[in-house]
Amino acid sequence: MKKKKATSAGFTWTGAISFFILIAVIMQMAILVYDYIRERTDNVTWIAVLILIEIIIFATFCTVFDWIRRKITVERPTQKIVDATEKIAEGDFSTRLDIAHEYGKYNQYDLIMENLNKMAIELQKNEVLKTDFISNVSHEIKTPLAVIQNYSTLLQDETLDSETRKNYSKTLISASKRITDLITNILKLNKLENQEIQEKHEAFNVTEALAENVVEFETMIEKKNLELNCDFDEVTIFSSKSLLEIVWNNLISNAIKFTPDGGKIDITLKRKDKNVEIKVSDTGCGMTSETGAKIFEKFYQGDTSHSTQGNGLGLALVKKVIDILGGEIAVQSEVNKGSTFTILLKDVVYED
């Protein structure tokens, strides 16, 4: 980061020159007073006493002048900073300091104040994020927990027939799976954000990796009677296989989830020079441009009819991974027509 310029808080040319003139005037006055006394008396004791009084008066004057100068230039800004840091330390992140000079004429105190203001703004932002995060997580956990409580109470009824029992336990399993998925995604996202996941880069056949992933969704695709078309170029890339798995999983599961029975999903993988482009298209419910602008935010769910399936963390994870890998992600969508997610992995093609 470029260092900002600031003048020294303890030294200014105007301050130094004023101080110099003051000392020079006082010395001159001392000499004049001394001459004045010598002209009027030869009494050495008197001269000594008067000189002593003169020194005391001038020294007091200088001390008071210096004290006022320090009060204005050092103590006042330091006290402002101390007060602000105390407030921030107590958790009041709305604290801001008024900077004395205009931008470009900053001294070191102004710079400290500006930095403190920036720190307070960042802390305030983090506080908001933390509160939002906690309320989102609590909300997401509360719903399946309520389901678990209700259905386990219902299961206590011994007169239930085996079919109903089976249905209730299915509901219980899916509610607990929601909580597990939520926690898994939060932990993954947290690890990615704190860069704890070592993105182990390796050369691997991305065509095979993607195809293997698609196969895992076969049962879900068949269940919804979806038409699936895959068109993959044969490419080896140098990237992180495990991170990309997060991307495939979320995009394909979204395409399946948001496409009604009998719809179509197209997945393509194209080599473009040194880059690789992957597209996942569906003929599902699509989304408005307002929704499209928010889908990468944590916990955002645009389509409320599917909100019980998932927590709105999938695309936040995908975006984070793509950012880490230095790629691009874009979405094109039309309501009730479908959506296309395009991923561009840059400079990844691996050739021996």
What is the binding site for Mg ion (CB under 5 A)?
254, 310, 314
Q: Near ligand ATP by CB under 6 A, which window of 12-20, 94-102, 158-166, 252-260?
A: 252-260
Count of beta carbons in the 10 Å neighbourhood of residue 298? 20
Q: Is 248 in the site for ligand ATP (CB under 6 A)?
A: no
Q: Which is nearer to ligand ATP, 113 or 295 (CB)?
A: 295
Contact of residue 112 among Mg ion, ligand ATP, none (CB under 5-8 Å per partner type):
none
Indicate the length of the chain as a whole number. Answer: 352
Q: Which is nearer to ligand ATP, 208 or 216 (CB)?
A: 216
324 and 199 in contact (C-beta within 8 Å)?
A: yes
The number of C-alpha atoms within 13 Å of 39 and in the hemisphere containing its C-beta is 6
Q: How would DSSP label each residue in 13-27? A: HHHHHHHHHHHHHHH
Contact of residue 286 among ligand ATP, Mg ion, none (CB under 5-8 Å per partner type):
ligand ATP
Reading the block at residue 102, the tokens are 């205009």
Reading the block at residue 57, the tokens are 């008066």
340 and 333 in contact (C-beta within 8 Å)?
A: yes
Q: Which is nearer to ligand ATP, 97 or 316 (CB)?
A: 316
- Long-range CB contact pairs, 74-82, < 8 A, 24+: 74/9, 74/10, 77/9, 77/109, 77/113, 78/109, 80/113, 81/109, 81/112, 81/113, 81/116
Strands (E), 24-104: none
Contact of residue 328 among Mg ion, ligand ATP, none (CB under 5-8 Å per partner type):
none
Contact of residue 313 among ligand ATP, Mg ion, none (CB under 5-8 Å per partner type):
ligand ATP
Q: Which is nearer to Mg ion, 237 or 247 (CB)?
A: 247
How many residues at the interface with ligand ATP, by CB under 6 A? 24
Q: Which is nearer to ligand ATP, 50 or 278 (CB)?
A: 278
Within residues 68-127, the interface with ligand ATP by CB under 6 A covers none
234 and 207 in contact (C-beta within 8 Å)?
A: yes
In whole angstroms, how close is the CB of 132 to Mg ion at the nearest point?
Answer: 19
In whole angstroms, how close is the CB of 226 to Mg ion at the nearest point?
Answer: 16
Within residues 283-322, the interface with ligand ATP by CB under 6 A covers 284-287, 291, 295, 300-303, 310-316
What is the Cα–Cα distance from 46 to 40, expressed in whole angstroms? 11
Give the bridge partners for 266, in sequence order: 229, 281
Contact of residue 287 among Mg ion, ligand ATP, none (CB under 5-8 Å per partner type):
ligand ATP
What residues have CB less than 8 Å from 269, skipping those under 6 apart?
Answer: 206, 207, 210, 231, 232, 233, 235, 276, 277, 278
Contact of residue 255 among Mg ion, ligand ATP, none (CB under 5-8 Å per partner type):
ligand ATP
Closest residue by beta carbon to Mg ion? 314
Contact of residue 312 among ligand ATP, Mg ion, none (CB under 5-8 Å per partner type):
ligand ATP
Contact of residue 302 among ligand ATP, Mg ion, none (CB under 5-8 Å per partner type):
ligand ATP
The torsion angles phi and psi of 109, rounded to 5 degrees, stand at: -65, -40
Q: Which is nearer to ligand ATP, 237 or 246 (CB)?
A: 246
Q: Which is nearer to Mg ion, 10 or 260 (CB)?
A: 260
* Angstrom distances, CA of residue 251 to CA of 68, 125, 290, 311: 68, 30, 19, 14
Give contact residues for ligand ATP (rule: CB under 6 A).
Answer: 185, 250, 254-255, 258, 282, 284-287, 291, 295, 300-303, 310-316, 339
